[in-house]
Amino acid sequence: MPLSQKYIYTSEDYWNLPEGRRAELIDGQIYDIAPPGFKHQKIISQFSYRLNDYIRQNGGDCEVIPAPFAVNLDADDKNWVITEITGKKRRYAPVKRAYRDTAKRFVFIQILINTKRFYVCRQ
């Protein structure tokens, strides 16, 4: 008896999830994720403030956007992740729906509280 094949979800499936459902689409599979806790959000807030202040004091051309919102990092129809903090250059046109815009002009930061690490993905 052949094994049943996994259903491969796409961007369309992801954007049609019920409002308020926190999930990521990775390699065509939808993974539910827990909402961030108080400590996590406090760290995100403080980090965003300090990063924004640093950029401003040093004449940077970037704005810091605390998330969460979903982004497609590789323009693949099967991958959407939720970022913690996003940096966007001001010189680009305003983004009405940043999570659907190309990821090539953004910097993404993911903070993992339990591991005491943070990850930066720069496109």
Is 11-122 a domain of CATH 3.90.1570.10?
A: yes
**Mean pLDDT calculated for residue range 45-66:** 86
60-118 pLDDT tens trace: 888 888 877 777 767 777 888 888 887 777 665 454 444 444 455 556 666 655 555 54
DSSP class per residue in the chain = -PPPPPP---HHHHHTSPTT--EEEETTEEEE-PPP-HHHHHHHHHHHHHHHHHHHHTT--EEEEEEEEEE-SSS-TT-BEEEEEEEEETTSPP-SSGGGS-GGGEEEEEEETTTTEEEEEE-
Q: What's the confidence (pLDDT) of residue 16?
A: 93
Instruction: Indicate the domain borders of the chain.
Output: 11-122
Residue 13 has pLDDT above 80, yes or no: yes
CA angle in degrees (0–180, nearest 5) for 95-12-107: 35
